[in-house]
């Protein structure tokens, strides 16, 4: 018997160590799974290419060849955040003219499945050999991300496919229909397709990760097994269709980042982003939950319960990690931010309508967070970050001030003692902050970014200052000065706020804390400026981010370059920025919700609606929002006038 002719794939070339660029990659996500490839759809084992499940690359190569040649790519598109479509064409000797008569379509799902369909548009039956070259290194995501992946593992034949194993981990790829031949040494599956004119033939591949305990093949969760979205089906319509597209793309990105808490499967939270942080990052999860409160409190409730189970019961601290903070300050600890933010998210979720009993069950965790705040604050009430010993960052003092006031509200609501002491703490912090953190200059002054352990003011300015807007930490006059600073071109790039002023030493438009635009901080600036009455600056930022969203297909990455906007430029992608990103997607929702300015007090039975009177997107209508666990809809006219169209019967419209 003559052995089948099979093309041997070239040995993959490994990239040098270092963060792998993903800005041109097609990434589809279904947390904790994802698939990454270049725009031709081929998985070549280079960079971050591959199918990943639970932090491990289960398939690094999946290269299609038809009639001995690679198809010529013509389309790469995300159908949704978890599914991609690739289209290519192939010329064969049977082509009678200049036009290719064979099309290859690949439909890839982040759950580890792919459908390859070969379509013949020619007049005769075509007999075409289809080969799929497969391989894997079973590398951990972190190693692949840094370009430190290993060589391909040897493959073995299994029923209708191939299998690999290493260090107790097994993976198999199965095909339907079964291949006509399998060459394990080359990792190749081969079919001899007979494709009638005007018809197609399909091959389905699925990646299975084998259970280490039982040796059974376990697929990634399919769509029906994934957590349902814990938010309402909100809709936005109006004069500017870009808002509707951004809302839809953002919610789609958040949907595929949902994770269940293994300790309680009914509690869901969002993974931080893809592809780098496909697990729980407390600060990011809390920010996303906070910014999605207009769509209901279920995400906040699940996130808070999950973090309460992870909280250090003795210190009250929420877990976190060190993060780079730019060229002027040492790394910051995300656990400081998360611990203070926990109190705020619980208090605001209660105002949006979290059932009183649910909020009360989380109150002990919030009290432990407040206890941590009391323990780490210095004699002036300032919170170091990292604690202890770190600098006194201005945004951390804003988080502490906000947590103290929200903590006092929670204690009062449930008849717990101590609310007066926390309000006194907030008042004292506010007084000292204006004296210690304000830098006078000929331009009207600015808030310092931090006080060093030696007491020196760090005077650089960046988007972190937006956290001072919604806390009352600055007086009215200085809030107005901050608004002017945020609207100036050294901070407002024209596509969003820079993380560091372009005038500051060390500015880098690609630096994630030294000049790039981070979407969620721009969104917080819009809401904070609008609430404080600075609608001109808020509207300019909103329109800038919305314009940038068009460049990214209305699926905003976590950040992009803070290059100055000009008529002949478009926003530059950051080569390693995550997309989808929980805080960027939730920030886009928060940005759009700022147009309506819904401010609820569900326990008091009142809701206020204070839209942006400048109506930067013209007339808009929000429906499917949630206030007090009931549908809420509001229409804002081109003149910035609001009319509530749907609300809970007992809810009163307040000032």
Residue 7 has pLDDT above 60, yes or no: no
Tell me how far apart the alpha carbons of residues 616 and 645 are, in angstroms, rounded to a whole number. 21
Q: How far apart are the C-alpha atoms of 27 and 49, rounded to whole Å?
A: 9
Residue 351 has pLDDT above 80, yes or no: yes
Domain with CATH 1.50.10.10 in the chain: 235-653
Per-residue pLDDT of 30-79, as tens digits, reads: 999 999 999 999 999 988 999 999 999 999 999 999 999 999 999 999 99
CA dihedral 455, 461, 463, 465 (to 10 degrees): 50
Distant-in-sequence contacts of 451-454, Cβ < 8 A, 24+ apart: 451/382, 451/391, 451/392, 452/391, 453/384, 453/389, 453/390, 453/391
How confident is the model over 233-252, as a mean pLDDT?
97
CA-CA distance, 253 to 550, in Å (whole number)? 15
Our measurement of the distance from residue 184's CA atom to the centroid of its chain's CA atoms, rounded to an integer in Å, reads 39
Q: How far apart are alpha carbons 172 and 219 in whole angstroms?
A: 10
364, 395, 367: which is closest to 382 by C-alpha? 395
Q: What is the mean pLDDT of the chain?
A: 93
Instruction: Kindly state the average pLDDT of the residues 260-289.
Output: 96
Burial of 630 (0-12, 13-18, 19+ CB in 10 A): middle
Token pair 């006031």 is found at 405
How far apart, in whole angstroms, are the C-alpha atoms of residue 108 and residue 116? 9
pLDDT given at position 13: 42
pTM: 0.93
What is the arithmetic mean of pLDDT over 634-651? 96
Residue 3 has pLDDT above 90, yes or no: no
Question: Tokens at residue 42, please?
Answer: 């081929």
Whether the upstream peptide bond of residue 491 has omega within 30° of 0, thus cis, is no
Q: Where in the chain is the domain with CATH 2.70.98?
A: 26-224
Give the residue carrying structure tokens 């007979």.
194
Which residues, 6+ apart, have CB-to-CB distance to 59 below 8 Å?
A: 43, 50, 51, 112, 134, 135, 136, 171, 173, 207
| Local confidence band at 95 (pLDDT 50, 70, 90 cut-offs) | confident
Angle, in degrees to the nearest 10, between helices 535-551 and 241-255: 70
Instruction: Tally Cβ neighbours within 10 Å of residue 1.
Output: 3
Give the CA angle between residues 429, 434, 440 to the nearest 5°. 160
Which stretches of 110-247 are assigned E, i.e. beta strand? Answer: 113-120, 126-135, 156-158, 161-166, 169-176, 181-183, 188-195, 199-210, 217-219, 235-238
pLDDT at position 653, please? 92
178 Cβ contact list (under 8 Å, min separation 6): 159, 160
Least confident of 208-212, 397-401, 526-530: 208-212
Q: What is the pLDDT of residue 605?
A: 96
Comparing 623 with 226, the larger pLDDT belongs to: 623
CA distance 145 to 141: 6
- In order of 88, 129, 171, 182, 188, the CA distances from 5 in angstroms are 24, 10, 26, 11, 11
State residue 18's pLDDT score. 63
In this structure, are strands 606-609 and 652-653 parallel, antiparallel, or unpaired?
A: parallel
Half-sphere exposure of 453 (CA within 13 A, CB side): 9
Cross-strand pairs, 57:
52
CA neighbor of 110 nearest in space, from 76, 145, 83, 140: 83
pLDDT of residue 596: 97
Domain 235-653 is of which CATH architecture?
Answer: Alpha/alpha barrel (1.50)
CB 58 within 8 A of CB 82: no
Confidence of residue 216 (pLDDT cuts 50, 70, 90): low
Given a cut of 70, whether residue 219 has pLDDT beyond it is: no
Chain centroid to CA 405: 29
Give me the pLDDT at residue 218, please: 52
- Count of other CB atoms within 10 angstroms of residue 617: 23
Instruction: List b or e across 251-274, with b for residues whose CB sees 16 or more CB atoms inside 10 angstroms.
Output: bbbbbbbbbbbeeeeebbbbbbbb
CATH classification for the domain delimited by 26-224, as one of 1.10.3470, 3.30.70, 2.60.40, 2.70.98: 2.70.98
pLDDT value, residue 93:
82
Spatial strand order in the sheet of 457-458: 392-393, 450-451, 457-458
Q: Which residues contact 421 (CB under 8 A, 6 or more apart)?
A: none
Average pLDDT over residues 226-253: 96
- Model confidence at 527, in pLDDT bands (50, 70, 90)? very high
CA distances from 599 to 6, 219, 570, 592 (A): 66, 44, 35, 14
């Amino acid at each position: 018997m003559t052995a089948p002719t099979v093309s041997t794939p070239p040995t993959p070339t490994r990239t040098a160590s270092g963060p792998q660029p993903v800005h041109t990659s097609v990434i589809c996500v279904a947390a904790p799974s994802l698939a990454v490839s270049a725009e031709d759809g081929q998985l070549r084992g280079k960079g971050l290419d591959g199918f990943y499940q639970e932090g491990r690359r289960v398939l690094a190569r999946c290269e299609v060849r038809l009639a001995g040649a690679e198809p010529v790519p013509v389309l790469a598109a995300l159908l949704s955040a978890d599914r991609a479509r690739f289209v290519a064409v192939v010329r064969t000797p049977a082509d009678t003219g200049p036009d290719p008569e064979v099309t290859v379509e690949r439909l890839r799902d982040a759950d580890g499945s792919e459908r390859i369909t070969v379509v013949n548009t020619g007049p005769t039956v075509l007999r075409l050999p289809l080969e799929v070259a497969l391989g894997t290194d079973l590398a951990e995501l972190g190693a692949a991300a840094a370009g430190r992946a290993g060589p391909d593992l040897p493959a073995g034949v299994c029923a209708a496919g191939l299998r690999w194993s290493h260090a107790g981990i097994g993976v198999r790829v199965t095909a339907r229909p079964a291949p006509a031949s399998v060459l394990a040494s080359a990792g190749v599956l081969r079919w001899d397709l007979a494709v009638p004119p005007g018809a197609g033939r399909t091959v389905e591949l699925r990646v299975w990760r084998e259970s280490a305990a039982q040796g059974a093949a376990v697929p990634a969760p399919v769509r029906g097994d994934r957590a349902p979205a814990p938010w309402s089906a909100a809709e936005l319509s109006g004069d500017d269709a870009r808002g509707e597209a951004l809302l839809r793309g953002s919610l789609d990105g958040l949907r595929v980042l949902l994770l269940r808490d293994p300790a309680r499967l009914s509690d869901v939270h969002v993974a931080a982003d893809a592809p780098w942080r496909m697990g729980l990052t407390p600060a990011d999860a809390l920010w996303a939950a906070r910014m999605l409160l207009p769509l209901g409190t279920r995400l906040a409730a699940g996130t808070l319960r999950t973090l309460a189970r992870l909280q250090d019961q003795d210190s009250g601290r929420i877990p976190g990690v060190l993060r780079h903070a730019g060229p002027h300050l040492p790394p910051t600890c995300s656990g400081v931010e998360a611990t203070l933010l926990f109190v705020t998210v619980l208090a605001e979720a209660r105002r949006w309508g979290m059932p009183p009993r649910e909020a009360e069950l989380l109150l002990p965790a919030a009290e432990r967070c407040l206890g941590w705040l009391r323990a780490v604050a210095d004699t002036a009430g300032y919170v170091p970050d990292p604690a202890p010993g770190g600098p006194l960052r201005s945004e951390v003092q804003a988080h502490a001030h906000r947590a103290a006031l929200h903590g006092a509200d929670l204690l009062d609501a449930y008849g717990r003692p101590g609310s007066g002491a926390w309000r006194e703490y907030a008042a004292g912090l506010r007084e000292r902050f204006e004296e210690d953190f304000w830098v006078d200059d000929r331009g009207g002054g600015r808030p310092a970014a931090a006080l060093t352990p030696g007491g020196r003011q760090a005077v650089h300015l960046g988007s972190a200052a937006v956290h001072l807007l919604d806390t009352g930490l600055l007086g009215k006059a200085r809030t107005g000065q901050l608004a002017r600073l945020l609207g100036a071109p050294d901070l407002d790039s024209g596509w969003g706020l820079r993380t560091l002023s372009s005038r500051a030493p060390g500015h880098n438009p690609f630096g994630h804390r030294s000049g790039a635009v981070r979407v969620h901080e721009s969104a917080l600036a819009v809401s904070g400026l609008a609430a404080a009455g600075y609608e001109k600056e808020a509207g300019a930022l909103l329109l800038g981010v919305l314009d940038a969203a068009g460049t990214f297909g209305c699926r905003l990455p976590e950040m992009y370059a803070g290059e100055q906007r000009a008529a002949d430029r478009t926003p530059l992608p950051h080569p390693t920025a995550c997309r989808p990103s929980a805080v960027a997607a939730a920030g886009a929702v928060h940005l759009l919700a700022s147009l309506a300015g819904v401010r609820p007090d569900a326990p008091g039975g009142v809701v206020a609606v204070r839209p942006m009177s400048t109506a930067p997107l013209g007339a808009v209508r929000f429906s499917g929002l949630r206030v007090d666990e009931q549908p809420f809809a509001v229409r804002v006219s081109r003149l910035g006038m609001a009319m509530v169209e749907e609300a809970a019967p007992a809810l009163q419209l307040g000032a």
